[in-house]
Amino acid sequence: MTQLRITGGRIYDPANSVDGDVRDICIDDGRIVADVPASAPRLDARGMVVMPGGVDMHCHVASGSVNVARRLLPEDHAQHPATAPALDDTGMIPRSGSAGTIPTTFTTGYRYAGLGYTTVFDAAVAPLLARAAHSQFDDTPIVDGGFFVLLGNDDYLMRQIDAGEHERAREYAAWLLGATSAYAIKAVNPGGIDLWKRGVRGRTELDQALGSSRVTPRAILETLADTAIGLGLPHPLHLHCNNLGLPGNAATTLATMAALDGRRAHITHLQFHSYGGPPDGGWRSGAREIIAYVNAHENLSGDVGQVMFGSAATITADAPVEYLLHRSSGRKWANVDIELETGCGVVPHEYKERNAVAALQWAVGLELFLLSSDPWRVVLSTDHPNGGSFMSYPALIRLLMDRTYRDEQIKRVAPKLLVGSALADGLTREYTLGEIAIITRAGPARLLGLRDKGHLGIGADADVTVYMPDADAERMFATPRFVVKGGVLVVEEGELRRAPAGRRFHVRPPFDTAATRHVERHFEQYSTVQFANYPVGDLRDAPLPVGAR
């Protein structure tokens, strides 16, 4: 079946200014088209809500650190077996697996598709582990995706900054993006992981010297933001700021956003970086200051990184954060330094309603959502599985859409730290279906620079999700009635029936080969890996074009 007409649904396609109009959506050969012949198969969507497939621009599903977390948490898997879905006869072997906070690869693909998500990006892959990340994506069916490659604590990059060789830094980033088949540049706690690996403990300041006074977190983020812009990447620098999760870190986040000085950048999981007051002044919300700054600066975008109550696994390249979390929670901990590139830490975590810090984190995320003035620039994430599983997105959507429900939940959480938060003052905003369509698909697609995702205009990828309206938004978004991925009906009457392979998004910016000879010498001197063995090689899918946008 290459053609399909979805008839009579209410369409929410904000990228094309369609907000609940009743019309047909036509599909031919995997793309949205203007019309199909009357004889084409039909899917009756009368009375239902039709949106583009969901786009998750920040989660952790395919990196080396995800596998470390899987190895650390066998009990989580044992408690959450996932049986193989009853797939139609499409030649695809259905796979069992396990779910819980870090599902296995096949289960990850099935469950995202079951929620109506069709595009998923892993936000942090160490270059050295890129090949393994691609292998994991190969085993994650249905969803299209890619990953961001970690560069914020990279030894070669920092040496070039020290030498004032900004051109060389840019050529290196271009080469590395292509060598790892990555999609964008990620910086996690720029400079802070390098300090951690040298044994430094404590906060990281923007102007802290990293060996040399020329190499500072500020210089790293300026270099990487300029590099992403200079290379014409579809997505700008994806930045996890310094001092994640620490009281008083809103000051660092504000200083970081100011340091970007008008450069385009995406600040990820804002919630974990929005704690107000002085560093030693205890916990309180700094959400108002952070979101006011983002609202006022169009060069910036963010995803929220909402905390949801329940079990989570914290997984990050930000190793020092995991050390602190392990010390404070007493839970088990894994740390893996990745030689010249980055770090990795994992600690399982439980966000409890009656825990004051967890309640504050939950409230801060909701404040950011409810005080954001531009849904196209502040989009939905839980930083899966750090703030909660992607499976909790429907519950989060209900919190945003249903004020009565939200107010009931506020009464259940520990009130101690909510004093002074805008949430405790009573925020009345309720997201509309159109706004939900922006923060879960149209917005992330636009921020990622994916022109054929997140909308239902002619020529778009035929990724469509059909929901049965329900006063309970959680129930509505948890169980789409139909999901079409690339023109294939993958969910029928709420059941996963087909699981085609997804495609990979990656870029390969041009670079000067003279610059890579310099990189090669660095490999010979310092790396355990041969330069020639480092690139992951060609993927089945061609790279996306880069250039001025």
Which positions lie near Zn ion, rule CB under 5 A? 123, 383
Nearer to Zn ion, 123 or 344 (CB): 123
Q: Which two tokens stand for residue 81?
A: 């077996």
| Smallest distance, Zn ion to C-beta of residue 383, A | 4
* Distance of alpha carbon 454 from alpha carbon 55, whole angstroms: 7
Burial of 296 (0-12, 13-18, 19+ CB in 10 A): exposed
Nearer to Zn ion, 123 or 125 (CB): 123
| Smallest distance, Zn ion to C-beta of residue 123, A | 5
Residue 474 three-state SS: helix
Q: Which two tokens stand for residue 346?
A: 């994992």
Nearer to Zn ion, 63 or 107 (CB): 63
Q: Using an 8 Å Cβ cutoff, are 178 and 543 in contact?
A: yes
| Smallest distance, Zn ion to C-beta of residue 66, A | 11
Contact partners, residue 537, CB within 8 Å, separation at least 6: none
Nearer to Zn ion, 187 or 476 (CB): 187
For CA atoms 213, 202, 331, 108, the dihedral sign is negative
| Smallest distance, Zn ion to C-beta of residue 244, A | 9
β-strand 184-188 against 144-150: which pairing, if any? parallel
| Smallest distance, Zn ion to C-beta of residue 183, A | 15
Nearer to Zn ion, 62 or 123 (CB): 123
CA dihedral 70, 87, 504, 313 (to 10 degrees): -20
Nearer to Zn ion, 61 or 174 (CB): 61
| Smallest distance, Zn ion to C-beta of residue 324, A | 17
254-257's contacts with Cβ under 8 Å and 24+ in sequence apart are 254/289, 254/290, 254/293, 255/206, 256/206, 256/221, 257/293, 257/294, 257/297, 257/300
Q: Which two tokens stand for residue 392?
A: 């909790």
Nearer to Zn ion, 123 or 158 (CB): 123
- Cross-strand bridge partners of residue 50: 11, 466
| Smallest distance, Zn ion to C-beta of residue 304, A | 12
Q: Give the other-Cβ count within 10 Å of 29's Cβ.
A: 10
Read off the amino acid at residue 187: A
Q: Using an 8 Å Cβ cutoff, are 226 and 306 in contact?
A: no
| Smallest distance, Zn ion to C-beta of residue 431, A | 23
Q: Which two tokens stand for residue 318?
A: 């930000």
Contact partners, residue 135, CB within 8 Å, separation at least 6: none
Measure Cα distances from 486 to 27, 330, 332 in Å: 9, 45, 41
CA dihedral 85, 125, 122, 109 (to 10 degrees): -10
Residue 186 three-state SS: strand
| Smallest distance, Zn ion to C-beta of residue 275, A | 17
Describe the crossing of helices 166-180 and 155-162 by its angle, rounded to 10 degrees. 160
407 — alpha (psi -120 to 50), left (phi > 0) or beta? alpha
Nearer to Zn ion, 303 or 367 (CB): 303
Query: Which residue's Cβ has the minimum distance to Zn ion?
Result: 383
Nearer to Zn ion, 171 or 383 (CB): 383
Backbone phi, then psi, for 173, in 5-degree steps?
A: -60, -40
| Smallest distance, Zn ion to C-beta of residue 124, A | 6
Read off the amino acid at residue 259: A
Nearer to Zn ion, 170 or 273 (CB): 273
Q: How many residues does the chain have?
A: 549
| Smallest distance, Zn ion to C-beta of residue 378, A | 16
Output DSSP code: residue 338. Answer: B
Nearer to Zn ion, 180 or 381 (CB): 381
Nearer to Zn ion, 123 or 462 (CB): 123
| Smallest distance, Zn ion to C-beta of residue 11, A | 32
